[in-house]
Amino acid sequence: MARPPVRVALVESAVLGLSCVLAFWLASEAFTRVYIDSRDSDLLGGMWAALSTIFVNRATFQESLAAGVSRMSATLVSFVICLVYLVFLPFHLWAFGLLIGVSSLVGLLTGRRGDATTAAITTAVVLVVAAISPVDPWQQPILRLVDTVIGVIIGVATAWLSLKLVHPHLRRDTT
């Protein structure tokens, strides 16, 4: 792929950076007014939302939308697996490995190899955060799901905004 002009790269990078600030703020400050958790968990939520924003930032709007669907799919797999486990049992090393494997297996068996990797990463993060969180561990999958939703929505909106700012001449159906 050809290198973009400096102006295009600057605009796209600035929009992504500002979008990550918004995602981080929404997840770590605004959302915490609805649900109070520890400050560490709030910061992790902000980081997780920003990472989801970055994850869906792709070259075209359609690619970003597909990445958003992939991110949500993988997160939902991890959400269900972690929530079911953490409602009944605390973090344990054997469960860490087992649940990462199960998350990956679901992605692989559904034919979504990329989602398998993302689900495994999400499961690892959720379980470790549940282990160190001062609140009930079963709440962590719910909180990380909300963070991901925030990040994916902002990431897809960022892709659309970048397209409109950088390439306003492109028709909607070709993006």
- Domain assignment present for residue 75? The answer is yes
Cα dihedral sign, 57-68-45-25: positive
- Domain tally for the chain? 1
Tens digit of each residue's pLDDT (9 = 90 or more) over 30-75: 766 666 667 777 888 899 999 999 999 988 889 999 999 999 999 9
Token pair listed for 114: 């990329």
- Domain assignment present for residue 145? The answer is yes
Give the angle 19-152-57 at the CA atoms, nearest 5°. 60
- Domain assignment present for residue 1? The answer is no
**Closest C-alpha among 171, 81, 93 to residue 131:** 93
**Any idea what DSSP says for residue 174?**
G
List CB contacts of 174: < 8 A, sequence separation 6 or more: none
- Domain assignment present for residue 8? The answer is no
- Domain assignment present for residue 173? The answer is no
d(CA 97, CA 118): 15
Q: Is the pLDDT of residue 135 over 80?
A: no
- Domain assignment present for residue 79? The answer is yes
Q: What is the pLDDT of residue 12?
A: 84
Question: Do the beta carbons of residue 72 and residue 88 sit within 8 Å?
Answer: no
- Domain assignment present for residue 78? The answer is yes
Residues in the chain: 175
Tens digit of each residue's pLDDT (9 = 90 or more) over 98-134: 999 999 999 999 999 989 999 999 999 999 999 987 6
pTM of the model: 0.87
Residue bearing tokens 């990380």? 144
Share of the chain above pLDDT 90, in %: 62
Q: What is the pLDDT of residue 67?
A: 95
Q: Is the pLDDT of residue 175 over 60?
A: no
Residue 168: pLDDT band (50, 70, 90) is low
- Domain assignment present for residue 12? The answer is no
Domain holding 132, by residue range, is 25-168
Question: Do the beta carbons of residue 36 and residue 83 sit within 8 Å?
Answer: no
